[in-house]
Amino acid sequence: MNGFDFDGLLTFWGRRSDDILTLVGEHLLVVALALIFATIIGVGVGLLVWNNAVGRSLAVTSAAVILTIPSLALLAAMIPLFGLGWVPTLIGLTLYSLLPIVRNTVVGLREVSPAIMESAKGMGMSPGRVMLTVQLPMAWPVIVTGVRVAAQLTIGIAAIGAYVGGPGLGQMIFQGLSSLGSKNALNYALTGTLGVVILALLVDGAFTYITKYSTSKGLRA
């Protein structure tokens, strides 16, 4: 591999800025879609099992087992079923996002004081209304923290999606690794890697504001 040349890297960025921005957009989009699907599934499962010891143990354990599967192995296993491209990448990211969301949903709901829920019921609220207007809003900061952890996890794993032809900055990383010794091999790899790191930092910062403005004023620290 050729030695690092900062001026060459800047030139590389200038010439390929459109391609880089396109891959950044794809990376963010596939991560956002995976988080949306995982949040719907994870929060839904958490709502169903939070008060059932067997159910919540099974749900959390199943999500944890999925997370132990090497990402390359999981993505490769989906090729016969879903082919290459966005679909296996999106499914894989969604599965990897489930654990922190399911776990935090269960923890957040269980941390709500039973006395508060009994008071709400005493005011004539139905169990469903208590869940939606009292318990879920109080658990929300914990749930969002789980989504935040899942976001950091999926941003990194999304880069591996390039292995199955998936979108995002992983394409540059793999292109750099597959062309070792060429003029721009290091530039490709560095651009993809730095892009993933910067995206992770920006998304993490965005979740600080999401948590703040989506949490009830009475629950903000």
Q: What are 176-211's pLDDT values in tens digits?
A: 888 877 788 888 999 999 999 999 999 999 998 888
Supply the pLDDT for residue 221. 54
Sign, CA torsion 154/155/161/167: positive
The Cα 42–Cα 210 span in angstroms is 18
Sign, CA torsion 154/160/163/169: positive
Residue 114 has pLDDT above 90, yes or no: no
Measured in Å, how far apart are the chain's first and last C-alpha atoms? Answer: 51
Q: Using CA atoms of 149, 152, 155, 156 in order, give the dihedral in degrees to the nearest 10.
A: -110
Supply the pLDDT for residue 3. 61
The Cα 71–Cα 202 span in angstroms is 24
- Put simply, whether the predicted model's pTM sits higher than 0.85 gets the answer yes
C-alpha distances out from residue 121 to 65, 131, 135, 168, Å: 37, 10, 12, 48
Q: Other CB atoms closer than 10 Å to residue 169's CB: what's the count?
A: 27
What pLDDT digit, counting tens, does each position of 44-74 carry?
999 999 989 999 999 999 999 999 999 889 9
Mean pLDDT score, 8-14? 86
Supply the pLDDT for residue 116. 85
> CB-hemisphere CA count at 13 Å for 63?
26
Supply the pLDDT for residue 1. 46
Supply the pLDDT for residue 113. 83
As a whole number, the mean pLDDT across the chain is 89
The Cα 174–Cα 162 span in angstroms is 7
Among the ranges given (18-27, 124-133, 197-206), the one the predictor scored with the smallest mean pLDDT: 124-133
Query: Which is nearest to 27 in space by CA: 178, 146, 154, 175?
Result: 154
